[in-house]
Structure 1
Amino acid sequence: MLKQLKIFNTVIEPGKSYKLNFNMAKLYTSTSIEVPVLVERSKKAGPVVLVTGGIHGDEINGIEVVRQLIVKKLNKPVIGTIIAIPVLNIFGFLSGTREFPDGRDLNRVFPGTKSGPLASRFAYQITQELLPQVDVVLDFHTGGAQRFNAPHLRVAQTETSSWNLAQIFNAPFLMNGSNIKKTFRGTCADLGKTYLLFEGGMSNKSDKHIVATAVNGTVRVLNHLKMLHTTVEVKKPEKESIVITDSKWVRANYSGLLHPKVPCGKKVEKDEFLATITDPYGELRYKVKSPHAGYIINVNYSPLVYQGDAIFHISRHDE
């Protein structure tokens, strides 16, 4: 017998589609801000999967991933339920910024409070009303502040179900890392949910290759959960994920103009030439070299840097 599924005071009937409006706040003009929540439920019992994008309003790639899942009707399961929220942070999306209107990062206020600041109230409703109904969460992010992330999943290896599902998703890189308190990821882990956090690309940019990587990984996960129609093409990955257990940021030794010379995702050797830092006057030209061998998993594409700014994130492989 199918269990009752209730989301935001709406009973989700088997075999039905819903477009719910998670209405949390209004603009100064009293205009309501609605967060569309698309729910597709099969007539057959199965897992409840939540796919989310745009927890930071300027992370366009994540929003595009969820949009493509909807357009391709991959959110219509043959068993179970798929809940799709393309844009969690509508406020930030409208203004092209990362934060909520109260200046807070939505991904740093979970599980939220009932009567706190706006972002915290929003997180509270997600935690209390939505997450209890969910079994699996797929959350899509990008890099921020002009930093480009190689496509990867961030998962704690100690969370066995999440780690195993990450290997099914099979992103190019799989980063082992502990959860951060007050994040969406950390709250899902505390509630015992299987959770995958995908990172790829940079904020305010749409990258079709990053998006395709995330969509293909999601298809593999949904296929593994037996939620897809047999007509859906499931693309096999070219190779297994490169597991990263340790990494280090390379920081600028000088302030100036940054000129990266290596692409994100490249494997580099110790002392390999990574970038130059110059001044506007033709007097400074400093070569940035890799302190160790590893994979470039993040590149700072800001044209200007200050001394101490993070410019490359490189994995460490002791072997």
Structure 2
Amino acid sequence: MEELYFVAGLAVGLFLFSVYTSYVKHRWKEKNEKEKQIYQLVENSRDIIYIVQLQPEQKHIYISPALDSYLGKGIVEASLEDPYFPLQLIHPDDLDTLEKKITDQLDYSKPFVQRWRNRLGEYRWFEEYASPIYNDDGDLVELHGILRNIDEKVQLQQNLEYRSTHDALTGLYNRDYFDGLMEKYDQEINCAVGMILCDLDKLKDMNDQYGHKHGDSYIQKASEVFLESTPLNAAVSRVGGDEFTILLNDTTPEEVESVFDRIQKHVHDHNECHPNSRLSLSMGYAFTTHSTGKMESLFIEADQRMYQHKRSKKDVYTYS
């Protein structure tokens, strides 16, 4: 009878062990499957995910393949082999942010933007979120992070900023930008400033006779002349339908006069080569050694000289 109980107990024990083993295998397989799914999600993500160890030595523990898709094949491998390799790719202006990130000098609760150079020499924009890992002594030992490419977002922002400061027809600066410069030089920056005002003659007459497309072409040709005639420190703006301004900072009276003369020469050269699409400009210029508090009077002086030039022409009409 005891042997019967023993055999029965052994059978029950083996059965329970079998059930437990099957349960453990099932849970292990389930856990393995979940880990595999998570790994596949990370590997296939368009975002760049990384783990970098900072102590006791700096090295990349993991970098997702997305980095290669943005910067070029082999970047992941090179970064895993040499933890300092990414320093060669970061934009020089963003190097300080990278150094602060790995030395615990950033607010990790906020994202930060940086640019990384790809194999073609182009810089791609990324927004990064980093999570710091500290040891018991409070030392930063690891960083876990994710970088998201924001090229399209940056491009959209740059386009909006460009449109807010540039004239759609000519690509020159617009009235808002010019007003901002006037305020800056009048209140914030005190420097030598030269101003040239230009007015396109006969634009209204041309629009009435030939249509606005012809008038637009006339405006664009004048804009090209201004750009060809002005130095890098000049801000050329279209401030009205037929009105243009040229601001030169840190300049001299001689440079302002030289730019004024170059514009006239380019207009003359254009008219010699294109007698059927002649340009006619009225211009005036003014200069001040100190811009603070004098920008309005500078504008008035240049404006008065421009209208003196306009009135001196026999074949020029004045339009309201």
Shorter-chain TM-score category?
Answer: under 0.3
Alignment TM-score, normalising by the size of structure 2: 0.22
Q: Which of the two has greater strand per residue?
A: 1
Higher helix proportion? 2
TM-score by length of 1: 0.22
State the structure with more CA Rg.
Answer: 2
